[in-house]
Structure 1
Amino acid sequence: MRTVIFRTFAPFITALMVLFSIFVLLRGHNEPGGGFIGGLIAASALAIYGISAGVGPARRALKAHPMSIAAFGLLLAALSGLLSLFTRQAFMTSQWVTIDFLGVAVDLSTPMFFDIGVYLVVVGAIGSIALALEERESD
């Protein structure tokens, strides 16, 4: 299914899907969405790009091995839960901090970092599976 039309529009579709996955990730605690759903959308975008351009260009576009991305996400999710232990609270208790960024108050929280970790785990694991299946099919 490597038609000229598909190869032409796949990078644009991929970019839009990744942007939408980040939107779904960041709105996750207030409305439906979050790290898992956003990660699935981003992994689908990676699969579409892998089908259209090939596995090699898709792996180069990631800049890191998919399982390394998943491992970093798992580490980030675990560390976000451990921060509450330093304040003598139960594991995974939310911690909040407000920083001033360019004159705007930005609230950062451990649930947000946990969601980002889940996002990276899903993108890395599902992306690795999708690229491996595509690589096997193209041989």
Structure 2
Amino acid sequence: MNANPCEVCRFQNKQCVNNCMFALLFPSSDLEKFDVVNRIFGLETLTFYLKDLSPMERIDTTRTLYYEAKPCFLNPPKNPSKFLEALLNYPYQKAEEVSKTKKLLASYSRPCVVLALPAPKYTQSKSKPSVLRKRKRKTKSSDESAIRVVEDS
């Protein structure tokens, strides 16, 4: 009798014997492996596949069944919620990668020298400009010394 029963014997509430064919395949330290294979294929199918094989073939078959069952376990065909969640998070992950890359590129670029120019000073005039301006023009009269005031609008 083993001190640590294999996961198959623990699942069946049995005592694990020394010549248990599942002891090397599903040790008690590797719960995930048995859980995935059992949920997808079932214990009867697993026993059917492994009963006529040699110990080395059992190890390879168990690995193969695990690698086939894991994608089905993570993304079941009728409930692809994890797959959809990954697709929805994809743009955010890429945006984070772009920002990290920009920061990395900024650290590699040479520092540019920016000359600080003084800001122009604007002053307000105290008098308000009138809407109608009065300006002086020369008239085309014979008397060139005469100046008349014209209002522009």
Q: Pick the TM interval, shorter chain.
A: under 0.3
Choose 1 or 2 for highest CA Rg.
Answer: 2
Name whichever structure is richer in helix by fraction: 1
Q: Which has the higher contact order (CA 8 A, sep 6+)?
A: 1
**TM-score, length-scaled by structure 2:** 0.22
TM-score, length of structure 1 as denominator length: 0.24
